[in-house]
Amino acid sequence: MRDVAIIGIKNTKFGEMWDNSFRDIFVEAGVGSLEDAGVSGEEIDGLYVGNMSGGQFVEQEHIGALIADYSGLAKNLHVPSTRVEAACASGGLALRQAIFGVASGYQDIVVAAGVEKMTDVSSSVASAALAAASDREWEGIMGATFPGLYAMIARMHMHMYGTTSEQMAEVAVKNHSYGLMNPISQYRKKITVEDVLSSIMVADPLHILDCSPITDGASSLVLAPADVAHKYTDTPVYIKASAQASDTISLHDRRDITTLDATVAAAKRAYEMANLGPSDIDVVELHDCFTIAEICAIEDLGFVEKGEGGRFTEDGETAIGGKVPVNTSGGLKSCGHPVGATGIKQAVEIVHQLRGEAGKRQVQRANTGLTHNVGGSGATAVVHILSRER
């Protein structure tokens, strides 16, 4: 197994991009990451793209080939290009497949990208498309949407552990404070706990400011064998672990809906592979599709005991300067959540942090980071550990 490094990164702006098409944004991200790496098209052996639902959002499947074509890599270079889908974890899995491509020796320089254009349809169409990430025959058909599913998780977490709406709101307040410092963020707006609690209720107990938004955006990474990474950059970031796990797609089949067993399993595998533990992680990008999801994730990733996530957040331990800074990009909540791109954007943010180029949101002495990307209500989880050290 060959070691793999990240040598180039690029995010587009995240938000409602009515002046940019699906094609525009993936080309911007892809070409930007190649420029960042100093790599030419001729050097690329493969593309992997995370995209949840081009079919439903822009009536386009076959996204991999489309991207190769519009990036100028298809006609003469015939670069292989593969779309990977696992709902909101599509980006994380595209990164993982790209790692496999390089680790296997089949490919050397590869691009791992993610893209979603969600605002070209009405929000009801978008909600229906997103609901296709749940079990359509047991959840979707009953009218369950993701805010409803995560509201059940939140209600149970409150019941079992005394987690409060204020503690959940603190997640949003923190992530908005970092989103404000991130030039790509969809919502660059400071909010307070009171703002969250007084915002409209979407699915009790989740207010609209507990929810991540509908977003357009694309993100891209360039990967290379670790042995040649220094040819391209002075600051390669190494993949220390890539781990993925599945769980039941329906919430009602879980042993405990407050624990995402897929996250627990993926984290365990990742820590073992990297020979590291939660205390070795300096900065985290995790899947805060709803505020309760961040509270569950910091528990399931092992940063705090089960049930303590709300208090840990309230105590500022997930802020910069706390025990484990979480979602310095602004997270899905404030930076935005173009579902197929999110898993890649998380890695881009960790690379920014490990390179020391995160500006006002820089975590000091950040050496090792972790990304955590979830599909649906936790049927897929993928965890990557990245480090400045090989």
Site for its own copies, rule CB under 8 A:
1-2, 23, 46, 52-56, 58-66, 68-69, 73-75, 78-87, 93, 96-97, 99-101, 103-106, 129, 132-137, 140, 242, 244-250, 253, 261-262, 265-266, 375-376, 379-380, 382
Q: Among 265, 342, 254, 274, which residue's Cα sits nearest to residue 300? A: 265
CA–CA separation, 161 vs 226, rounded Å? Answer: 44
DSSP secondary-structure letter at 362? P
CA–CA separation, 321 vs 317, rounded Å? Answer: 8
Q: Among 51, 50, 44, 39, which residue's Cα sits nearest to residue 9? A: 39
CA–CA separation, 58 vs 22, rounded Å? Answer: 8
CB of 154 to its own copies, least distance (A): 21
Which of the following is catalytic: 176, 287, 337, 384?
A: 337
Instruction: Let me know: does 198 contact 2? Beta carbons within 8 Å.
Output: no
CA–CA separation, 98 vs 47, rounded Å? Answer: 8
CB of 182 to its own copies, least distance (A): 28
CA–CA separation, 195 vs 173, rounded Å? Answer: 9
**291-300 and 261-274 are packed helices; what angle lies between their axes, rounded to 10 degrees?**
50
CB of 380 to its own copies, least distance (A): 5
CB of 365 to its own copies, least distance (A): 30
Phi-psi region for residue 162, left (φ > 0), alpha (ψ -120 to 50) or beta? left
CA–CA separation, 208 vs 197, rounded Å? Answer: 9
Pairing between strand 206-207 and 237-246? unpaired
User: Which H helix or E strand runs over 371?
Assistant: strand 368-375
Q: 20 or 248: whose CB is closer to its own copies?
A: 248
CB of 72 to its own copies, least distance (A): 10
Task: Return the structure tokens found at 331.
Answer: 């997270």
CA–CA separation, 34 vs 199, rounded Å? Answer: 41
Q: 78 or 365: whose CB is closer to its own copies?
A: 78
Q: 82 or 334: whose CB is closer to its own copies?
A: 82
CB of 295 to its own copies, least distance (A): 22
For residue 337, indicate whether it is catalytic: yes
Which residues form the catalytic set?
88, 337
